[in-house]
Structure 1
Amino acid sequence: MRDYLKFYINGQWVDPLSPRSLDVINPATEAVAGRISIGSAADVDRAVRAARAAFATYSQTSLDERVALLEKIIEEYKKRYADMAAAVTEEMGAPAKLANDSQAAIGIGHLSTALSVLKEYKFQEARGTTTLFKEPIGVCGFITPWNWPVNQIACKVAPALAVGCTMVLKPSEIAPFSAQVWTEILDAAGVPAGVFNLVNGDGPGVGTAIASHPEVDMVSFTGSTRAGIEVARNAAPTVKRVHQELGGKSPNIILPDADFKRAVTSGVRGVMQNSGQSCNAPTRMLVPNARMAEALEYAKAAAEATTVGDPVSSGATIGPVVSAAQWDKIQTLIAKGLEEGATLVAGGPGKPEGLSTGYYVKPTILGGVNNAMTVAREEIFGPVLVIMGYDTVDEAVEIGNDTVYGLAAYVSGGDIDAARKVASRLRAGQVNINSAPTDLNAPFGGFKQSGNGREWGEDAFGEFLETKAVVGFTPRSKT
Structure 2
Amino acid sequence: MTELSPVLDRAAVRIGQLSGHFINGAWQRGNAAPIDVIDPATEMVIGQIASGGATEVDAAVNAARAAFERPEWSAMPAAQRERLLLRLADIVEQHQDEIAAIETLDNGMPYAIARQMAVGSAISSIRYNAGWPRRLNGETTPVSVPGNWHGYTTHDPLGVAALIVPWNAPFAITCTKVSAALAAGCTVVLKPAELAPMSGLRLAEFVAEAGFPDGAVNVVTGLGAQAGAALVAHPGVDKISFTGSTATGQSILRESAGSLKRVSLELGGKSASIVFADADLAKAIPGVAMGIFGNSGQVCAAGSRLFLHDAVYDQFLEGLAAFAAKLVVGPGTRDGVHLGPLISAGQKSRVMGYVEAGKAEGASLLFGGDAPAGAGYFVNPTVFVDARPDMRIMREEIFGPVLSVMRFSDTDSLDDLARKANDSIYGLSAYVWTQNLAAAQAMAKKLRSGSVKINGSGMEFALPFGGFRQSGLGRENGRDGVEAFTETKAVMVGWS
Question: Structure 1, residues 371-420: CA drift from partner, whole Å, max 9, x if none?
Answer: 11000011111111111112313322111100000110010101112111
Alignment partner of 1:372 is 2:386? no
Equivalent residue of 1:385, what SS?
strand
2:21 maps to what in 1?
Answer: 7
Cα distance in 1 for residues equivalent to 2:292 and 2:173: 19
Alignment partner of 1:310 is 2:331? yes
Equivalent residue of 2:242, what SS?
strand
1:437 Cα offset (Å) = 4.4
The aligned amino acid for 1:196 is: V
1:123 Cα offset (Å) = 4.5
1:276 Cα offset (Å) = 0.7
Equivalent residue of 1:132, what SS?
strand
Aligned partners of 1:401 and 1:426 also within 8 Å: yes
Question: Structure 1, residues 340-398: CA drift from partner, whole Å, max 9, x if none?
Answer: 1111111113x12xx41111101111111111100001111111111111231332211
1:38 Cα offset (Å) = 0.6
Question: Which consecutive unaligned segments of at least 5 residues does structure 2 have?
Answer: 1-11, 144-149
Equivalent residue of 1:120, what SS?
coil
2:345 maps to what in 1?
Answer: 324
Give the total of aligned pairs.
471
* Correspondence for 1:169 among 168, 190, 204: 190
The aligned amino acid for 2:287 is: S
Cα distance in 2 for residues equivalent to 1:3 and 1:395: 56
Q: TM-score by structure 2 length?
A: 0.92
Equivalent residue of 2:257, what SS?
helix
Cα distance in 1 for residues equivalent to 2:97 and 2:104: 11
Equivalent residue of 1:133, what SS?
strand
1:38 maps to what in 2?
Answer: 51
1:61 Cα offset (Å) = 1.6
Alignment partner of 1:63 is 2:84? no
1:363 maps to what in 2?
Answer: 381
Aligned partners of 1:248 and 1:408 also within 8 Å: yes
Question: Structure 1, residues 209-261: CA drift from partner, whole Å, max 9, x if none?
Answer: 11111110010100000111111122121110111000000001112221234
1:89 maps to what in 2?
Answer: 104
The aligned amino acid for 2:350 is: K
Alignment partner of 1:414 is 2:435? yes
Q: What aligned pairs does 1:153-168 form with structure 2 within 5 A after superposition?
A: 153-168=174-189
Aligned partners of 1:123 and 1:135 also within 8 Å: no
1:37 Cα offset (Å) = 0.7
Equivalent residue of 2:397, what SS?
coil
2:408 maps to what in 1?
Answer: 390
Q: What aligned pairs does 1:226-305 form with structure 2 within 5 A after superposition?
A: 226-305=247-326
The aligned amino acid for 1:192 is: P
1:474 Cα offset (Å) = 5.0
Aligned partners of 1:106 and 1:150 also within 8 Å: no
Aligned partners of 2:61 and 2:189 also within 8 Å: yes
1:126 Cα offset (Å) = 4.8
1:138 maps to what in 2?
Answer: 159
1:467 maps to what in 2?
Answer: 488
2:367 maps to what in 1?
Answer: 346
1:5 Cα offset (Å) = 2.4
Question: Structure 1, residues 181-229: CA drift from partner, whole Å, max 9, x if none?
Answer: 1111111112101111000011110111111111100101000001111
Question: Structure 1, residues 406-442: CA drift from partner, whole Å, max 9, x if none?
Answer: 1100101011121111111100111100015431111
Aligned partners of 2:245 and 2:267 also within 8 Å: yes
The aligned amino acid for 2:440 is: A
1:115 maps to what in 2?
Answer: 130
1:29 Cα offset (Å) = 0.5
Cα distance in 1 for residues equivalent to 2:457 and 2:103: 26
* Correspondence for 1:19 among 26, 32, 50: 32
Deviates further, 55-64 or 120-129: 120-129
2:65 maps to what in 1?
Answer: 52
Equivalent residue of 1:428, what SS?
coil
The aligned amino acid for 2:383 is: I
Equivalent residue of 1:48, what SS?
helix
1:284 Cα offset (Å) = 0.6
Cα distance in 2 for residues equivalent to 1:422 and 1:316: 35
Question: Structure 1, residues 117-160: CA drift from partner, whole Å, max 9, x if none?
Answer: 33433146454421211100011101100001012111111011
Cα distance in 1 for residues equivalent to 2:99 and 2:408: 44
Equivalent residue of 1:386, what SS?
strand
Equivalent residue of 1:418, what SS?
helix
Question: Structure 1, residues 25-48: CA drift from partner, whole Å, max 9, x if none?
Answer: 000111001100110111101100
Aligned partners of 1:309 and 1:315 also within 8 Å: no
The aligned amino acid for 2:38 is: I
- % same residue: 38
Question: Which consecutive unaligned segments of at least 5 residues does structure 1 have?
Answer: none
2:7 maps to what in 1?
Answer: none
Cα distance in 2 for residues equivalent to 1:45 and 1:116: 32
Equivalent residue of 1:237, what SS?
coil
Q: TM-score by structure 1 length?
A: 0.96
The aligned amino acid for 2:448 is: R
Aligned partners of 1:59 and 1:136 also within 8 Å: no
Q: 1:127 to 1:165 in 2, by over 3 A?
A: farther
Cα distance in 2 for residues equivalent to 1:73 and 1:261: 39
Cα distance in 2 for residues equivalent to 1:71 and 1:253: 39
Equivalent residue of 2:258, what SS?
helix
Cα distance in 1 for residues equivalent to 2:20 and 2:198: 13
Equivalent residue of 2:132, what SS?
helix
Aligned partners of 1:446 and 1:452 also within 8 Å: yes
Equivalent residue of 1:375, what SS?
helix
